[in-house]
Structure 1
Amino acid sequence: PVARWVWQIAAVFVVAFGLSYIMIQAFQKENVEMQTVYVPAGQRTQVTLADGTTVWVNGKSTLTFPNRFSSRTRKVELDGEAYFDVRKDPEKQFIVSTAHQSAIKVLGTKFNVKAYKEADEVITTLVEGKVNFEFNNAGQQPQYIIMAPGQKLVYNSQNGKTQLYTTSGERELSWKDGKIIFRQTSLRDALDILADRYNAEFVIQENVPHDDSFSGTFTNRNLEQVLNFISVSSKVRWRYLNNNGTAGKEKIKIEIFI
């Protein structure tokens, strides 16, 4: 009888403890709120997460993250481009979930991710530390690549293939510091960079040459200043086709001609 009474007390204690634990977990989950930061095209912003991690978010990008990290991992979601300076925590892995069923997993490091949903490629550039890039290969099987500092990995979500490059990271990270860097950059590539940075659309006339290239670094310059540099350095000319460069929801439309 005594033993039976002890077991009954123990059972009550276990049930009570279990309910308490469930209630605490539910309470904690209720207090975890997801936050979303969207950065319009042509702009950038800085976000500090609950763990002290700093994130620079580029234009046309969305970052979703919790107001606090309560689980064993620190997970955020990115649609677009962002630079992460992750606060080191050996007990909580930091995970950036991106489009196309890929993810970057780290403990503490500095890296850049470019992963827009409308683009096929996911590009990761590692500055410091170590990251695991996880993706689905050509056979749609999970795979991962361990990256080292000074490497850029390009993953094509359509064919599951990856390419690894060596880079200083200067051009890949230039957007974070408000810089535009041309290094023997072709006119077409230069205009693609400007289109992303300033939310512009370029209409290029057929007689504009393809073989012009440009080199230069521009810090916190407006679109007109960069286009004027291109004009001075070549025969290329430009003019507004709408709104004279006035900021608004509509893209700035510019004609490139000779």
Structure 2
Amino acid sequence: MDKEKFEKLIFKFHNKELSSEEKVEFESFLSSSDEARKIFHQWNLVYKASQALSINKEIPEIPFSLTEKKTINWRRWLANSAAIITIPLILGFTYLLIDKYKTGPVVYNEVAATNAKVVNISLPDGSKVSLYAGSTLKYPDRFSDEERLVILDGEGTFEVKSNPKNPFYVETTDGTRVKAYGTKFSVRDYDADNTIQVYLERGIVDFNSPRLNHPITMKPDTRLVFNKTDRKYTISNSTPNEYDAYEQGILLFNNKPLEEVVQKLNRVYGVDIVIQDESLKEYRFTATIKDESIYQIMNMLSLSTPQLEWKRQGQKIILTQKLKSKI
């Protein structure tokens, strides 16, 4: 983004001087990124503050006597003083405007990663989110002083800016909450899945579900898998390889059951793969996928699992077990 050019367009926007072409360019800049919207918001505050400080040019020359009996030209005094008072006052008014906005209604943003491997998001407090395929994230335009709450439907990695006085919460659609203060962790909770998974890379988080009687505290390099049906959970040692790869646009499957592999492929590639034989769901699959097409991946699956074959059926891809040849 050409920041200098964007700021010139913002200036023209406030002065209603944008041409038709510049208006299109301005709107393109504004919708391009969170950074662009933040720049516009900052300049908008300064503009409003400067408007509040605007002085009527028709102020008459008012003689004003001091104890020394000297007469002051009031208009000239204002003009000479403007350079000294304008900047501090604009900053002061900007602060007041920002403070005023803090008491206004909170606006929620919603970002969706539809058939995209990763969407990167910057939150108002400086925390970072990597949102994965088939997921949505809702977050406010500003956080409260009591908590920083975002709502996740799907899967994402969170790198939370430390603030011991203001905990950070990731809440999923079923009311499960992961609480952190300053850490890096990943949460996976799709409605279609029977489990909720949390991987903690560094720091400490608390996992709490409406289905539990008490929160579970996790330590670094561990993975929690919580079963939504029987309310049982396991915590095991783990490594960040899978999510590190995912953030770089790489799918890494390390001895994963075929059912989980298919769920991931459906979300990332926007396809409909159906496992027709239940016996295939527990077959394990190990692979690293970056630029392969979905059909290349299907061939990889059938080569690594001799009992499996696949075929296209309309808009679906059907996985079946090979029939045993008759002797």
Q: Same fold (TM over 0.5)?
A: yes
Look up the equivalent residue of 1:88 and give its one-letter code. Answer: S
- Seen in structure 2, the aligned counterparts of structure 1 residues 57 and 205 have a Cα distance that, compared at 3 Å, is closer
Q: For 1:108-158, what per-residue CA distance to the aligned partner results, in whole angstroms no more than 9, with x for missing partners? A: 1000001223444221110111111122345xx4x1111001111122333
Q: Distance in 1 between matches of 2:130 and 2:193?
A: 20
Q: Distance in 2 between matches of 1:234 and 1:122?
A: 27
- Seen in structure 2, the aligned counterparts of structure 1 residues 156 and 234 have a Cα distance that, compared at 3 Å, is closer
Structure 1 window deviating more from structure 2 (209-218 vs 82-91): it is: 209-218
Mapping for residues 29-178 of structure 1, pairs under 5 Å:
29-137=103-211, 141=213, 143-171=214-242, 174-178=245-249
Q: Find the residue that maps to 1:75 and give its secondary structure.
A: strand
Per-residue deviation at 1:186? 4.9
Q: Distance in 2 between matches of 1:113 and 1:128?
A: 14
Task: State which of 242, 245, 252 in structure 1 corresponds to 2:314.
Answer: 242
Structure 1 window deviating more from structure 2 (112-121 vs 234-243): it is: 234-243
Q: Find the residue that maps to 1:154 and give its secondary structure.
A: strand
- Seen in structure 2, the aligned counterparts of structure 1 residues 122 and 214 have a Cα distance that, compared at 3 Å, is closer
- Seen in structure 2, the aligned counterparts of structure 1 residues 217 and 112 have a Cα distance that, compared at 3 Å, is same
- Seen in structure 2, the aligned counterparts of structure 1 residues 167 and 30 have a Cα distance that, compared at 3 Å, is same
Gaps of 5+ in 1: 1-23, 244-252
Q: What's the counterpart of residue 196 of structure 1?
A: 267
More strand per residue: 1 or 2? 1
Q: What's the counterpart of residue 252 of structure 2?
A: 181
Note if contact 2:134-2:268 (Cα within 8 Å) is conserved in structure 1. Answer: no
Q: Distance in 1 between matches of 2:133 and 2:280?
A: 30
Look up the equivalent residue of 1:238 and give its one-letter code. Answer: W
Note if contact 1:151-1:166 (Cα within 8 Å) is conserved in structure 2. Answer: yes
Per-residue deviation at 1:90? 2.2
Q: Distance in 1 between matches of 2:276 and 2:169?
A: 45
Gaps of 5+ in 2: 1-97, 323-327
Q: Distance in 1 between matches of 2:270 and 2:125?
A: 32
More helix per residue: 1 or 2? 2
Task: State which of 299, 302, 316 in structure 2 corresponds to 1:228.
Answer: 299
Look up the equivalent residue of 2:310 and give its one-letter code. Answer: W
Q: Percent of aligned pairs with the same residue? A: 27
- Seen in structure 2, the aligned counterparts of structure 1 residues 97 and 188 have a Cα distance that, compared at 3 Å, is closer
Larger RCO, structures 1/2 (Cα 8 Å, 6+ apart): 1
Q: What's the counterpart of residue 319 of structure 2?
A: 256
Note if contact 1:100-1:157 (Cα within 8 Å) is conserved in structure 2. Answer: no
Per-residue deviation at 1:239? 3.5
